[in-house]
Amino acid sequence: MISFVIPDDFFSDFVLLVGNARFENLDLIKGLRDKASGIVGVDGGAAVLKKCGIIPHLIVGDFDSVDINTLEFFKAKGTEILHIPDQNNNDLEKALRTIVKETSNLILVGFLGSRFDHTLATLFVLKKYIKKYRFFLVGDAMEVYLLKAGNYKFSTEKGQIFSIFAFNRAEGVVLKGFKYNLDSVRLLPGSLGLSNTSLGREAEIRFSRGTLIVVKNL
């Protein structure tokens, strides 16, 4: 279940990016289709979209993990196909550089797989673009939010596990509705923030500077 509450305009205007990391809940992707203002297949994510019966606006990547038949299928449907063989950037960064749709909200599905190195690269890439976009990643067992300074609320279940880490120095961090609350503190990158627990149906995070990674375990 997608449960991002604030900012409340997030789901009114977002672009959906689909990668090819393992993701079982294809119904979620189908549910996002009609709400998205744009849909991008990131390399092998094109095959996932084909399986879902979704026609993306764009497929981009070096195409090392998507077959030619899939590309030809979507090309015939009017999808823009953008081959970028450059190996200095991963396919996600190629997609972020290519998106021309005016939006500040990106939902990423299929980027939290079993390859830790790929997931780590994803987070580092997203951090580069945090001033331009708000990011929400969905996996089978977790939701991951990469947040710039602001006020955020999350719908929760009592006892749900959150981990809240500073990606860089974060100032004025306030946590409410958790077992371990914070009141306007500075967070530095490290293990502080691991395995906090929600106390009720809503939790709040506020901070004035920096970047936080919030992992909500489902």
CB 70 within 8 A of CB 46: yes
Question: Which tens digits make up the pLDDT trace of 47-97?
Answer: 999 999 999 999 999 999 999 999 999 999 999 999 999 999 999 999 999
Amino acid at 3: S
| Same domain membership, residue 190 and residue 132 | no
Do 4 and 89 belong together in one domain?
A: yes
Same-domain check for residues 90 and 198: no
CATH code for position 89: 3.40.50.10240
> At which of 140, 171, 205 does a domain end?
140
pTM of the model: 0.90
pLDDT in tens, 162-193: 999 999 999 999 999 999 999 999 999 999 99
Q: How many structural domains are present in the chain?
A: 2
* Token reading at 41: 């297949």
Q: What percent of the chain has pLDDT over 90?
A: 73
146 and 136 assigned to the same domain: no
Task: List the helix and strand counts (H, then E) for the chain.
Answer: 5, 12
The residue among 115, 140, 165 that closes a domain is 140
| One domain, residues 163 and 114 | no
Backbone angles phi, psi at 11, to 5 degrees: -85, 0
Same domain for 127 and 209: no
CA distances from 5 to 27, 68, 179, 193 (A): 21, 40, 20, 21
Instruction: State the alpha helices, DSSP H only, in the chain.
Output: 26-33, 45-52, 68-76, 91-98, 116-128
Tokens 């901070």 correspond to what residue? 207
Q: What residues make up the domain containing 212?
A: 141-218
